[in-house]
Structure 1
Amino acid sequence: MSASRVEDGGGVGRAGLPEGWAWATLDDLAEVVGGVTKDSKRQSDPALPGVPYLRVANVQRMWLDLAEVTTIRVPAEAVERYRLQPGDVLMTEGGDRDKLGRGWIWEGQIDTCIHQNHVFRARITGSSIEPKLLALYLNSVARPWLEANAKQSVNLASISISKIKQLPIPVPPTAEQHRIATALDTRMARLYAIESKLRVTLDHVDRTWAAVLDAVATGCMPGVATSTLVDRPVETVAEVRGGIQKQSRRRPADNPYPFLRVANVGRGTLDLTDVHEVELFGDEIDRYRLEDGDLLVVEGNGSADQIGRAAIWRSEIKDCVHQNHLIRVRHGADLLPEYLEFVWNSPTMSRRLQKASVSTSGLYTLSTRKLKELELPVATREDQAALVTAAQIARAHLEQARDAAASALGHITALRNTLLAEAFSGRLVPQDAEDEPAEELLKRIRVEREVAEAERKAARKAARAGRKDKAETAAPPPARPDDTILTDGEQTTLPLEFNS
């Protein structure tokens, strides 16, 4: 296929290709299909066995997460139609922007596995392109095109199967594809090795910080001598109060105020990039206004390790209030606000919060009553100050290590993107004039497809003709036992019944 036949868009297909390369669409190179749609009525049919199937959650960018694969009940013909084969390239239809077109190669990890309708499957035709090259292209260079050609809302994006079939793909000669794949394997492996070490470093930073928080909560900070901490109910050292329930009457109109939600509160951090507003009435601002040093605690979460996470408020926004799913803990005279935050986010306190939050339904929820009764390790104010100072020094060092590792990860991502861009523009490995041009390969594939399609049409036509002939030559139905054979000219009589 010539470059002129491929629609440009989203930054793909604008540059010329090296000698011997050719443009194609995804539809030229592979059979692209959607997956099975879940029929809720069939899920209770015991006659249909459960079949493993991949969902969007299983299809990540450049890897497959098979830790939790669910099953679905579908007819046998659906299993055959959607059964995955080694070498199939899977890609997601959409969701949030990061999900758009992400995916990887199926290698037959599970026998008889199918895929859902929100996951597309590209089954490569012949040897048109190596599966790994196609998968890497979809996850890197093709992303701007996918985003430009997807239907998008504020935070979501999706691409139709008809549109993704039009994706322009630069196709190298087959021999060069092998050279590119080999070079990418070697260099990507080095990047992955460095990336893994950096992620281990970040994990070590997180675990070290958790240990520092626990040292504050237990009074066992190295280099800091403290007296024994005393467990005290939170209500004896702090004021606990709920927030404002969001209702239709509180849509911001005449008296709007900044309004913090659960999404704004992390563990030890506040994300204030998206702060909503709420309507207040009368003197509510005086009753609910946050004060410097208040601790905001998340009331509930589906994850046990996130329940009760908290962050300190430092008057970042004037006249700010909070929703009812956040609980405000305002420190008293016996507590330093920084000490309260460190202890609250420690593993020791997290275990207590989890125990207090478990409900009979298995959900994790907290209440102002539960928080008031919760036992909090309390040191003297002098010891609190010493523990906080030591923890802040440790945090400064750990943040330096985190920033360095995060910066290095950013460089790894940039290097990977550059490497893939070089690969799909013909600059990663040298060209060889002896290689068969990709256009010749694409011509053969087109001919093979046309022949296969003609054979399928002929087979369907023959099948229809066979059914018709069978119907026309079918023997007449056998005579009934009471049928009487009449001689020529004889007329049958019908039995008559008369009512007396």
Structure 2
Amino acid sequence: MSNLPEGWAGARLRDVCELINGRAYKQDELLDKGRYPVLRVGNFFSNRHWYYSDLDLDRDKYCDSGDLLYAWSASFGPRIWDGGKVIFHYHIWKTRPVDALIEKRFLYHWFEWDKENIKSDHGTGSTMIHVTKGDMEARRFALPPLPEQRRIVAKIDSLIGKTKRARDHLEHIPRLVEKYKQAILAAAFRGDAELARVGDVITDIRYGTAKKCNYDGGAVPVLRIPNVQGGRIDLGDMKSADFDAKELLKLELQTGDILVIRSNGSLDLVGRSAVVDHRAAGMLFAGYLIRLRLDPTRCLPEYLHWFLQSSVARNTITNAAKSTSGVNNVNAQELQTLELPLPSIAAQKERIASIESAFTWIDRLTADATSARKLIDRLDQSLLAKAFRGELVPQDPTDEPASALLERIRAERAAAPKPKRGRKKAA
């Protein structure tokens, strides 16, 4: 490594820490209850389902709060463990930093920074990345003097603490957005307008085709559940089939029709709708969708669509659709009995315009928040890159050079007697 800052030294990861393998488990060794939890990669990040073990293992196969761990397969990266004494799985390393050479939190931040380099090495399309122990131990490492490491860690922790607070605020935005949208819809459908049933404002309600469709299945495109996305018709994942004239006449879509998801494992999707636009006119629709065709002199399609997204309609639909079988359903009769306030067509147009204007503004803010989140992630990486180039804090010429520390540790290792291999049980 060339052009290192004053007092820094080039090293490999094996010079500054030891990587200790976890234990591979057979399925029958993983228990629902036991003395020690078994920390797997899923638990390392998000999975709350734990297995346990009663096995008596070498001390090195356990980790405890404060240990720096590294998941090296699939979902990978470092974590300073805070969950008490556990057994760690084969796809996790426990690190043993050389205290005289490197600060644990400095090594943690280096792992976080280097994780992105590993992703880049594997290509952006890689989803199942893993790193071998030999490759990780051989990774090059720019080592600052120990006092400078402490200054770097203090600076990183301070700055990343600020970006974390900003990230936490941004993560609340989706929930706030949904609440604000529901408040807008509630206001739009509040008032003294007469109530009407959905069945009173439609001229036809119909289930879609049960015919099997494929990506190259025939001449007529068929809209399915994946094509009803975010309140709009999405033509990005289309299948098709062949139909006779009678089927086409019965199921062909027209501009202004409303498609409603009637059946799904996700209760949140049941009852979600989209208005058919000119792009989808002439297509057919699948059996898990219901088509509503409205009387345009009584109710505008966009007005009914927005009503179906309101909390009043959503609560009624989800209560009707709930199922213990795993598949939630709402039927045509239940949709037709929904009651909605029905003002004049002119008033409906005003409410539609008000809703869509407010939602456009909210969606723009949401997009800005998403962009800000990505910028914060890049800022963290830029901060770490700057730290490991020696540009985050000034060097102190009175610090003992890292090269001197390395040479001393190497000499001590060479002079130390080789330890006898033996089994040490955990207390």
What TM-score does the superposition give when structure 1 sets the normalisation length?
A: 0.70
The aligned residue for residue 30 of structure 1 is: 17
Question: What corresponds to 1:178 in structure 2?
Answer: 150
Counterparts in 2 of 1:135 and 1:77: CA distance versus 1, 3 Å: same
Give the superposed CA RMSD.
Answer: 3.8
2:195 to 225, 229, 244: 229
Letter of the 2:342 counterpart: A
Q: Deviations over 1:388-422 (max 9, x none)?
A: 22212322332343344334334333332321221
Q: Paired residue for 2:54?
A: 75
**Alignment pair present for 1:125 and 2:91:** no
The answer to whether 1:329 aligns with 2:291 is yes
- Partner Cα distance (2:102, 2:177) in 1: 42
Cross-structure match for 1:393: 357
Q: 1:63-117 CA deviation, whole Å, 9 max, x = no partner?
A: xx5xx6333132333585532233433444454xxx4x344321x3x33223444
Q: CA deviation at 1:365?
A: 1.7
Q: CA separation of 1:114/1:312 partners in 2, compared to 1, >3 Å: closer, same or farther?
A: farther
Instruction: Give aligned pairs, total.
Output: 418
In the alignment, the residues of structure 2 paired with residue 452 and residue 240 of structure 1 have an alpha-carbon distance, to the nearest angstrom, of 83
User: 2-side partners of 1:124 and 1:302: how far apart?
Assistant: 46
**In structure 2, how many angstroms separate the alpha carbons of the residues matched to 1:316 and 1:55?**
48
Contact 2:110–2:388 (8 Å) recurs in 1: yes
Structure 1 residue 336, shift from structure 2 partner: 1.9
- When residues 195 and 441 of structure 1 are mapped into structure 2, their CA distance, relative to the original with a 3 A threshold, is same
Give per-residue Cα distances to partners, 1:192-211, cap 9 Å, x unaligned: 23333344455433311121
User: For the pair shown, which has the larger CA radius of gyration, 1 or 2?
Assistant: 1
Unaligned segments of structure 1, at least 5 residues: 4-14, 464-500
Contact in 1 for aligned 2:202/2:293 (Cα 8 Å): no
DSSP 3-state at the match of 2:63: coil
Alpha-carbon distance in 2 for matches of 1:142, 1:269: 38
The Cα of 1:440 is off from its aligned counterpart by 3.5
Kept after mapping to 1: 8 A contact 2:36/2:86: yes
Q: What is the CA-CA distance between 1:22 and the residue it aligns to?
A: 3.1
Provide the secondary structure at the position in 2 that maps to 1:180.
helix
2:59 is aligned with 1:86? no
Q: Which amino acid aligns with 1:330?
A: L
Which of 388, 400, 409 aligns to 1:436? It is 400
1:379 to 342, 351, 375: 342
1:269 to partner: Cα distance: 4.8
For residue 104 of structure 1, what is the amino acid of its counterpart? R
Equivalence for 2:80: 105
Are residues 1:20 and 2:3 paired?
A: no
Structure 1 counterpart of 2:119? 146
Letter paired with 2:63: L
Matched, 1:212 2:184: yes
More deviation, 300-309/383-392: 300-309
Query: Is the 1:87–1:123 contact (alpha carbons within 8 Å) kept by the matching residues of 2?
Result: no
Q: Structure 1: how far apart are the matches of 2:117 and 2:223?
A: 34
Aligned 8 A contact 1:229 1:377 in 2: yes
Matches of 2:166 and 2:371, distance apart in 1: 13
Does structure 1 residue 275 correspond to structure 2 residue 229?
Answer: no
Give the deviation of 1:166 after TM superposition.
3.8
Corresponding residue number in structure 2 for 1:51:
36
Whether the 8 Å CA contact 2:65–2:85 is kept in 1: the answer is no
- Distance in 2 (CA, whole Å) between partners of 1:200 and 1:246 is 42
Q: Please give the alpha-carbon distance, in whole angstroms, between the structure 2 residues aligned to 1:24 and 1:234.
A: 77
Task: Look up the SS of the partner of 1:454 in the other structure.
Answer: coil
Q: Aligned pair in 2 of structure 1 residues 365, 443: CA closer, same or farther (>3 Å)?
A: farther
Structure 2 portions without partners, runs of 5+: none
Equivalence for 2:166:
194
More contact order relative to length (CA 8 Å, sep ≥ 6): 2
Are the counterparts in 1 of residues 215 and 238 from structure 2 also a CA contact under 8 Å?
no
Structure 2 Cα separation of the partners of residues 94 and 289 of structure 1: 49
**Aligned-partner SS, 1:169:** strand
The residue identity in structure 1 corresponding to 2:65 is: P
The match for 1:365 is 328
Aligned amino acid, residue 30 of structure 1: C
- Output one character per residue of 1:273-310: Cα deviation in whole Å (capped at 9) or x when no partner: x5244444555666655443444444555554444433
Matches of 1:155 and 1:281 in 2, distance apart? 41
Letter in 1 for 2:27: S
CA distance in 2 between partners of 1:323 and 1:387 (Å): 31
SS across alignment from 2:6: coil
Q: Deviations over 1:433-454 (max 9, x none)?
A: 2223333434455556667782
In the TM superposition, 1:255-274 aligns within 5 A as 255=218, 262-269=225-232, 274=236
Partner AA of 1:21 in structure 2: W
Q: How high is the TM-score relative to the length of structure 2? A: 0.80
Find the aligned partners of 2:203 and 2:416 in 1 and give their Cα distance: 80
Deviations along 1:128-157, one digit per CA (max 9) or x if unpaired, are: 43333333333345313334248x9x6632
1:242 equivalent among 208, 211, 214: 208
Amino acid at match of 1:193: R
Q: How far apart, CA to CA, are the structure 1 residues paired with 2:329 and 2:36?
A: 39
Q: Distance in 1 between matches of 2:12 and 2:97?
A: 12
How big is the shift at 1:364?
4.2
Corresponding position of 1:8: none
Residue type at the aligned position of 2:144: P
* Residue deviations 1:341-363 (CA, integer Å, cap 9, x gap): 212222222222222222233x2
* Inter-partner Cα distance in structure 1 for 2:21 and 2:273: 43
State the secondary structure of the residue aligned to 1:197: helix
Asked if the contact 2:73/2:131 (under 8 Å) is kept, the reply is no
CA contact (8 A) 2:195 2:339 kept: no
Deviation for aligned residue 1:40:
3.5
Deviation of 1:179 (Å): 0.8
CA distance 1:388–1:430, change in 2 (3 Å):
same
